[in-house]
Structure 1
């Protein structure tokens, strides 16, 4: 039954309480997450992905190309955490990525102006004039093609060159590593930065698997970094957390080995193997076993 207070107030302040009472607050927050996907994950990634659907507690994310799908798969746990932080509870238990050719049409509540196109030339690409030499070169390179596709291939080449000239005129530059167009203010594209991060994460993982007892100070010394390097500090905590979660999951479902139990104790306590009695390791692992 709805509680009546007989007090006047703004309707918007009572909506969350009504939704929560009727068990609709979480679905409403998930609906808002679909709308606010660019704010949750970042505008750059949101250009190539969107929340497609939810299946119980699994969020299905549509990705526009396989390159981004591979990159986002590496950050599924981080995406899951960001969604749960936004929703306000541990609603999302897993994330699944599916290939999607294009984004769905924007809904009317999203914006009145449409998607922001700040990373594209402001001028009209069709107004760019190509040089006679370039046109002649394209004509020569496509003259051997069958007549039915010759004109289409030439038109595609002309459109690509016009876009390139238009973007360079606006100050856009290529990534020095992969050649992709850079967003304004970038020196290396997002994909290359993600690739660098994944490479460093592997180095961190390999080191901690060999010496899981390392403290943060010992870790930065071993890897040759400094404590002020925020990326290595972030990766140190991220890799340790991931390893602990995976080991706890194995123990919970009784698929662990004695080595798994020892590694969990090493990661949690940051003590060396000789400092951990066998009884302590077993008791620690038993805390996370599934209760019958």
Structure 2
């Protein structure tokens, strides 16, 4: 039901951009920068936002931070796509480059926040190991024959053991899958979390292959870890793969019907020939194309809304064909 329109009153979503624009370009630019950082999960999706953090926008450069090198490489390959999404959200060319902070210390410097909590150089010397732990570290490198190399490996292993103690004191706990330490708010490390998400996506894909018309409620009942964004992404990929095997001229095939059920979320009992044709025409640019492919007009493929065409005049009979200049007779034609 539509809201009753009240003359003279505007929505806050319309008044706010106008008010900010009236304050000047500097204030408007600052507002859009903070808006992009605040809406980062909506811009790139929850999966990316959970592993890549938007820190600050400085001189048309969006600074990001991620502790996982895999995600950093992935975002670098998606740089053009991310820049386009950010600029589309802001409504202007807000950023032109993406950069990553090399460490948490640099991230805190960009934010202007205190860095004592992340200064491991001052925290590690305060960690005390037991004699048994030190002996265990020394035993690990005892097989190295070179004295200089053995001492160097011992110091590195000792720092690693102290780091493990420090992370546990900060609330880090073992990963559910691999056992490596992960952040307090996570149940898995980034690598295992990505593998787990891929496994959930594969389960959603298999469910769609069995029930193409399934909606989110049905998928959630079978796969509790599925999300609406994940289902939409898997469905789009599944529809694209199906479309690449369907021809526009073959609406009666099983693949065409499966494509319609997956795209329209329609069960088999609601499937009609007209709905299949409309779906194929809507996806005509994504369908498989034969060697001699020609674009199809809507009125030539879909029966609804077909233009009425007058029957052609017979010119081969004794009646002469009318020309555009000859008047149309008002009475009955002579025998």
Normalised-by-shorter TM-score class: 0.5 to 0.7
What per-residue deviation string (whole Å, max 9, x for no partner) do you get for residues 138-193 of structure 1?
44443424234222101011111122233334554322432222323555445544
Structure 1: distance between partners of 2:63 and 2:185: 31
Deviation at 1:101, TM superposition (A): 9.8
Match of 1:164 in 2: 164
Match of 2:266 in 1: 271
Task: Assess if the C-alpha contact under 8 Å between 2:213 and 2:262 holds in 1.
Answer: yes
Deviation at 1:51, TM superposition (A): 9.7
Residue aligned with 1:257, SS? coil
Structure 2: distance between partners of 1:89 and 1:213: 36
Match of 1:130 in 2: 129
Q: Which runs of 5+ in 2 are unaligned?
A: 1-17, 248-253, 286-294, 297-335
Map 1:183-222 to 2 at 5 A: 183-189=183-189, 191-216=191-216, 218-219=218-219
Structure 2: distance between partners of 1:242 and 1:176: 26
Match of 1:284 in 2: 279
What is the RMSD computed on CA atoms of the aligned residues?
Answer: 5.4
TM-score, normalising length from structure 1? 0.56
Map 1:213-292 to 2 at 5 A: 213-216=213-216, 218-219=218-219, 223=222, 229=224, 231-232=225-226, 234-235=227-228, 238-244=230-236, 247=239, 255=244, 257-258=246-247, 261-273=256-268, 275-290=270-285
Compared CA separation, residues 138 and 240, structure 1 to 2 (3 A): closer
Match of 1:8 in 2: none
Deviation at 1:195, TM superposition (A): 3.6
Aligned residues: 248
Match of 1:142 in 2: 141
Compared CA separation, residues 86 and 158, structure 1 to 2 (3 A): farther
Structure 2: distance between partners of 1:60 and 1:282: 47
TM-score, normalising length from structure 2? 0.51
Higher relative contact order (CA 8 A, sep 6+): 1
